[in-house]
């Protein structure tokens, strides 16, 4: 997925700013994912059986899906909803649908 | 995906050992992915716009898909094929189909 | 996906009614898909090679994905946007995210 | 998914022929799916709420996934395994991986 194929809105920050607790929640999840990716490297170095590695790759993907979905949901319910209420929601809704289309590929 | 739901074969290492060049290739990809996950953390700290982060999450997922597929293909063409030729392929084929089923969820 | 797990809004018809041309467009796509499914039955009766049938199943899935996405997009841009503008958008947005979560499974 | 991008083996019928009971099982599933697609047309004609239609589209997709997976599994465990045992399995295994790659798109 390329940014230029998805991004429509000229926006650098969330429309509704993330709270510190939200940021911390996402950071913690991402740190755990970083640890899982390092764990994958170790498995390959230790020559672990392919299916064991594949099961672990699938766990990392599930964790990434979860962060992605959480962020998407927050974006829709906060940023997009806000933009619609303020009368400039069309491009936000367009962009949301493009993100969703790309994720379903 | 839980290991106990997928793994059938009692195997700790690849049936056909990974060459050093194969291990290095996978390690390099995983290191790049680790870097991308750290990049995601930075984006969240810098309060970047949700869609920018989502596009980047989707790039990490595509990179993980690629490593996973590469490993799956190598496992099928080397380990599973080998096991079938040596007459004990049934449980390897069963296991391969379970991996594929779980990945398609 | 079960209706009871997804549907939140107490609504029997689209918030913004489908035009005749919209209905006709969807109906035509669905008729083509029905024809494709009948084609699959014929392939199985004629004992066609597994991979040929699998390629055709995947074509039907792509066609269904397209109708689904088209309907989802129209629902988001018309019905959900409308509901948000009229001040009762929260449950529509919740429901939209549930649909999206279920589709990504 | 295009046939020319996936099919490698020059084969018109399953390597291991489908039994009558297998054919009947697949046909029955496909007939039910055909009925579900007709049900979708009726929902659109009756102007049913978008989310109700989307839930039903997702049910059809799940049913198609099931037939596809069933056929893929049977192909792998019967046709591909057989070909490997008879010493010409490489192109069958190549083709299987292409099918899987395309399905995961």
Asked if residue C3 belongs to a domain, the reply is no
Residues A64, B57: C-beta atoms closer than 8 Å = yes
Euclidean distance between CA atoms D75 and C55, whole angstroms: 13
Number of domain units in chain B? 1
Asked if residue C7 belongs to a domain, the reply is no
Chains contacting C (3+ CB pairs below 8 angstroms): A, D
CA angle, C6 as apex, C2 and C12 as ends, to 5°?
A: 95
Residues C93, A101: C-beta atoms closer than 8 Å = no
Query: Domain range for residue A25?
Result: 18-103
What CATH number has the domain bearing residue C74? 1.20.58.1000
Contact present, A92 and C76 (Cβ < 8 Å): no
Euclidean distance between CA atoms C25 and C19, whole angstroms: 10
Q: How confident is the model at residue D86 (pLDDT cuts 50, 70, 90)?
A: very high
**Closest CA–CA distance from residue C47 to any residue of chain A (Å):** 31
Asked if residue D6 belongs to a domain, the reply is no
Asked if residue C71 belongs to a domain, the reply is yes
Using CB atoms, pick whichever of A6, A13, A50 lies closest to residue B71. Answer: A50
Nearest residue to C1 via CA among C72, C56, C90: C72
Give the CA distances from residue B39 to residues A99, B43, B44, B45, in Å, rounded to whole numbers and listed in that order. Answer: 20, 6, 9, 10
**Closest CA–CA distance from residue A50 to any residue of chain B (Å):** 6
Euclidean distance between CA atoms D30 and C40, whole angstroms: 8
Q: Which residues of B touch A47 (CB under 8 A)?
A: 13-14, 17-18, 23
DSSP alpha helix (H) spans, D12-89: 20-45, 50-74, 81-85
What's residue A102's pLDDT?
A: 86
Q: Chain A: which residues have CB within 8 Å of chain C?
A: 65, 69, 72-73, 76-77, 80-81, 84-85, 89-90, 93-94, 96-97, 100-101, 103-104
ipTM for the whole predicted complex goes beyond 0.85: yes
Q: Looking at residues D45-68, what average pLDDT do you find?
A: 96
Asked if residue A10 belongs to a domain, the reply is no
Asked if residue B80 belongs to a domain, the reply is yes
**Closest CA–CA distance from residue C6 to any residue of chain D (Å):** 8
Q: How confident is the model at residue D48 (pLDDT cuts 50, 70, 90)?
A: very high
Residues D90, B77: C-beta atoms closer than 8 Å = yes
What's residue C3's pLDDT?
A: 67
Task: Return the DSSP state at A59.
Answer: H
Per-residue pLDDT of chain C (105 residues; tens, 9 = 90+): 566 689 999 899 999 999 999 999 999 999 999 999 999 999 999 999 999 999 999 999 999 999 999 999 999 999 999 999 999 999 999 999 999 998 887
Provide the token pair at B36.
Answer: 């991308």
Asked if residue B10 belongs to a domain, the reply is no
Contact present, C60 and C37 (Cβ < 8 Å): yes
Q: Which residues of A touch C81 (CB under 8 A)?
A: 84, 89-90, 93
SS3 content of chain B, % helix, strand, coil (to 5): 75, 0, 25
Asked if residue B3 belongs to a domain, the reply is no
What's residue C36's pLDDT?
A: 98
What's residue C9's pLDDT?
A: 92
Q: Which residues of C touch A90 (CB under 8 A)?
A: 77, 81
The 10s digit of each residue's pLDDT in B61-90 is 999 999 999 999 999 999 999 999 999 899
Q: Looking at residues B32-39, what average pLDDT do you find?
A: 98
Mean residue pLDDT across chain D? 94
Q: Is A42 helix (H, G, I), strand (E, B) or coil?
A: helix
The 10s digit of each residue's pLDDT in A83-96 is 999 998 999 999 99
How crowded is residue A57: how many other Cβ atoms within 10 Å of its Cβ?
25
Using CB atoms, pick whichever of C27, C37, C99 lies closest to residue D44. Answer: C27
């Amino acid at each position: 997925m390329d940014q230029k194929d998805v991004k429509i809105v000229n926006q650098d920050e969330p429309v509704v700013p993330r709270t510190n607790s939200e940021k911390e929640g996402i950071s913690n999840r991402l740190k755990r994912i970083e640890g899982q990716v390092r764990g994958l490297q170790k498995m390959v170095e230790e020559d672990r059986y392919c299916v064991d590695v594949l099961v672990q790759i699938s766990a990392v993907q599930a964790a990434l899906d979860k962060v992605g979905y959480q962020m998407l949901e927050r974006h829709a319910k906060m940023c997009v909803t806000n933009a619609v209420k303020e009368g400039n929601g069309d491009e936000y809704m367009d962009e949301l649908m493009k993100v969703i289309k790309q994720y379903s590929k």
